[in-house]
Chain A
Amino acid sequence: MGKTLLSKGLAVAVLSAVLGASPVLAADYPSKDVRIIVPFKPGGGVDTTSRILAEYGNKHMGKKGKLVVENRAGGGGIVGQTFAAKAKADGYTVLAMTSSVVTNPVLKETEYKVADFRPVALYNMDPEVIVVGASSPFTAIADLVKAAKARPLTVTVAGIATSHHMAGLALEDSAGMKFTYVPTKGFGAQLQAVMGGHVEMGLFPLGEIKKHADAGTVRILAVATDKPMKILPGVPTWQDSGLNVKRWTTFRGWAVPKGTPDKAVKFLSDLLGKISADEAYVKQMTDYGFPIAYEDAKGFAEVVTDYADITDKVIKKHGLKEKK
């Protein structure tokens, strides 16, 4: 049901975009600054990647307009996301779109729906990983799975009804593991719980934990990607570990309000493509811990639908939707 609604919404979005396209506006796009709305405070993953994109993107922007990052934090992203959804659909307002744009309207009473946005392009995927502290008795994923089948393991997640909590619920459904969830505010508190041995494991997005694993203070036992990752030697996928969850990744990309002219969408999508081909950009993003994953508008829409499908299942099964 979620999928049909979503694809219907996307169809409506595309249709209205075609009908509502203003040739005058589109002709000399971009003729002024394009602002990227980051719905979080400065200094987070979304903000940092947006600034890197703006820096490299401005090489291709011409003289008339630049990419400008604008932070509109609050409401766990909802304030900025709503702002972008209601912005003029002229191609000059871009939302730094993350997975929460998909789940927020399903979980909470938001004023926007995911169909209010038109995906432009995807630039980064951040897979979920299972993490234990350096002094944990679990050295391989098999030990941990065995333990989690015998009794509930305490697992720290960055908030209930977040993508990370849902990843845990998906593991319970598919792999027969049992968890006691210990929610925290933010990844720092989560790290403290795992490193201090106050919980038995943690579910993290890779980008938040990779450097700590490199430092040896925590261990990554399994990663939720289709294939093992080159940057994680010796770490199996969830699927290969018998967890029956093929893929669980949050994503970062660009989206525009529905009704934005095709020409602007194509320009922005191509722009992300050009940036992604820049070697210096690829190196900087990888060094920063954000591996490149470029998808154009069509590919990004599929990623969004895919994510809506897997989270929808979990949300329905576990009754996560806010009750009014």
Chain B
Amino acid sequence: MTEIALGFATLLHPTVLGFLLIGIVAGLIVGAIPGLNDNIAFAIFIPLSFSLSPTYAFALMVGLYCSAAVGGSIPAIMVKVPGTASAVLTAIDGHAMARNGFAGRALGIAITSSVFGGFSSALILLFFAPPMAAFALRFGYVENFSLGILGMASVIGLLGGSIIKGLLSAVLGLLVATIGFSLQTGYPRYTFGIDNLYEGVPFVPLLVGLFGITAVLELSEELIRDRRKGVASPDMPRITDSLFIGWPLAKRLLPTWLQCSLLGNVIGVIPGAGMLMAIYMGYERISHRYQRLFAGKPGEPEWGQGAPEGIAAPESANNAVVASSMVPLLSLGIPGNSVSALFIGAMMIQGMVPGPLLFIDHADIAWMIIVAFLVANVLMWPIAYALVRTISGMVFRLPKYVLVPTISLLCLTGAYSDENSVFSIGVAIASGIVGYATRRLGIPHAPLILALVLGRTIEDNLSNALNIGGGNWLIFLDPAEHPISVALMAGAALFIVGPLLSGARRRFQAQRRAAELELENG
């Protein structure tokens, strides 16, 4: 308890608190600008933090990390351009709801869900870090491989129509993920002599292109189509309704929040899984719940056409990854994902090393970071509500023909600033064009994205697991040595079999209904 008090005492210094507030506001803005995200913001901020007191630097970073995902949902809802990768699913139902005239409600759901998810993970970080870190340590190569397989399997339920196109999408992602040096040999693959590809296709510009540029190209297409037809493009949706979601909706969303927050927290704690995996798994789970309970009822849209759960699921899941990704970092010195890995750099620049010793050498800082996640999530709620109208009005009320070049420019600037490299601009443009082309061909993006995120994890952990296990493929199903892996594989099997079974059941029910109708009529 004294440690928590020490954390609060450090944080509640007016200047430190001020930096936390700056971080929250900056995170909302950075998140809301397509092409900028927390990764890029930290890449720019870390060198500057060298001359800053560590308490200021970390307060700002915590605030920014917490609110960036909330900011990312604003353009996702208003213009269907995800501000950050974490909002890629929010854009589907969120924008549909906004088009239906409920932009305010969509934003309200996004903010409230984010705060719920974020607050839950801050509590995990504060009270359950040691046991969760011990759990994370049990993830070796075998477990991480199975986790990757589970992640890939989770998208099968999202494919809907064409399995072939889904597989094509996954294969494309896996192929791109093989670019760069092979961990097993140390030699480059498919780099064509380009040094910039040696560590793989730079990931931040790749995502900026895939989400930002693709969305811009789709916007342009709409513009051109409208102009050809000679009709005026409809304006982007505006906030005309209340931002507050009310108790009945909150009560209805509670099970979604709980389920997705739990998922986000578990995935956040495991090093190497990441935010995108959490939002896809949460979205998939909740889509079944929605089909079962709400779809087809009066006043309830189809899934993907503005379902409140379609916003609540990814938004609570992505913020639940935030503080929990700091659990292995602060307890063990092992980063939970790519953003928390940047905290290592920020700490190193201050002469600190994350891990158990941080709590001995710099207890004030370590505990300040922990309580800052809690405070940031509490403050984020009113701040996001207060600023969301301004932020969404600032850029996104622009006419479409101004919006298109503005967002393009922001995306390319963001891509460049991640590594100060012109090559990254090319990556963003190329992946944007590929993203647009695949969309036009009706190829779903979910398998592609998860394959990009998980391809390397799966390959590297597979080869290392087999390396250690002497080439025995059955280690992944060994209940004595690797019970976690067995459970993950069983989960993956359910993800694969589940959609097939429910599809068969639907067909069976349809047949029976047809038969009954025939009986009645005959």
Contact = CB atoms under 8 A, between A and B. Distances in A.
A108 interface: yes
A72 B420 contact: yes
Contacts of A320: 186
Nearest to B343: A43
Of B187, B188, B195, B332, most buried by chain A (CB within 10 Å of CB) is B195
Which 4 A-B residue pairs are closest in the complex by CB-CB distance? Answer: A43-B345, A160-B186, A198-B140, A75-B195
Interface in B330-353: 332-335, 341-342, 344-346, 348-349, 351, 353
B460 interface: yes
A305 interface: no
Interface stretch (A226-234, A247-255, A282-290): A282-290
Contacts of A82: 195
A200 B517 CA distance: 68
B188 to A, nearest CB: 7
A74 B355 contact: no
B47 A71 contact: yes
Contact of B357 (A41, A215, A284): A215
Interface stretch (A12-20, A84-92, A181-189, A293-301): A181-189
Interface stretch (B10-18, B108-116, B196-204): B196-204
Nearest to B272: A189
A197 to B, nearest CB: 8
Contacts of A74: 195-196, 198-199, 202, 419, 421, 423
B185 interface: yes
A279 interface: no
A320 B351 CA distance: 35
B181 A76 contact: yes
B360 interface: yes
Given A42-B345, A193-B141, A212-B356, 5 more contacts: A47-B47, A184-B464, A195-B332, A288-B351, A289-B353
Interface string B305-349: 000000000000000000000001000111100000110111011
Contacts of A42: 43, 46-47, 345, 349
B468 interface: yes
Contacts of B419: 41, 71-74
Contacts of A215: 355-357, 360
A157 to B, nearest CB: 10
Given A154-B468, A180-B468, A198 B141 contact: yes
Interface string B9-51: 0000000000000000000000000000000000100110010
A191 interface: yes
A212 B331 CA distance: 11
Contacts of A181: 467
A320 B334 CA distance: 30
Contacts of B202: 74
B249 interface: no
Contacts of B334: 188-189, 191-192, 195
Interface of A: 41-45, 47-48, 51, 55, 69-76, 78-79, 82, 107-110, 154, 159-162, 165, 180-186, 188-189, 191-193, 195-196, 198-199, 211-212, 214-217, 284, 287-289, 320, 322-323
Given A51-B50, A74-B198, A211-B357, A159 B183 contact: yes
A70 B47 CA distance: 10
Interface string B351-388: 10101110010000000000000000000000000000
A215 B328 CA distance: 15
A165 B357 contact: no
Interface string B165-183: 0000000000000000101
A192 B47 contact: no
A74 to B, nearest CB: 5
Given A71-B47, A79-B196, A160-B186, A43 B346 contact: yes
Nearest to A285: B351
Contacts of B184: 160, 183
A285 to B, nearest CB: 9
A59 to B, nearest CB: 14
Contact of A162 (B186, B333, B356, B460): B186
B271 interface: yes
14 contacts: A43-B46, A43-B344, A72-B421, A73-B419, A75-B195, A108-B188, A182-B141, A183-B460, A185-B183, A185-B460, A188-B335, A211-B355, A215-B360, A284-B351
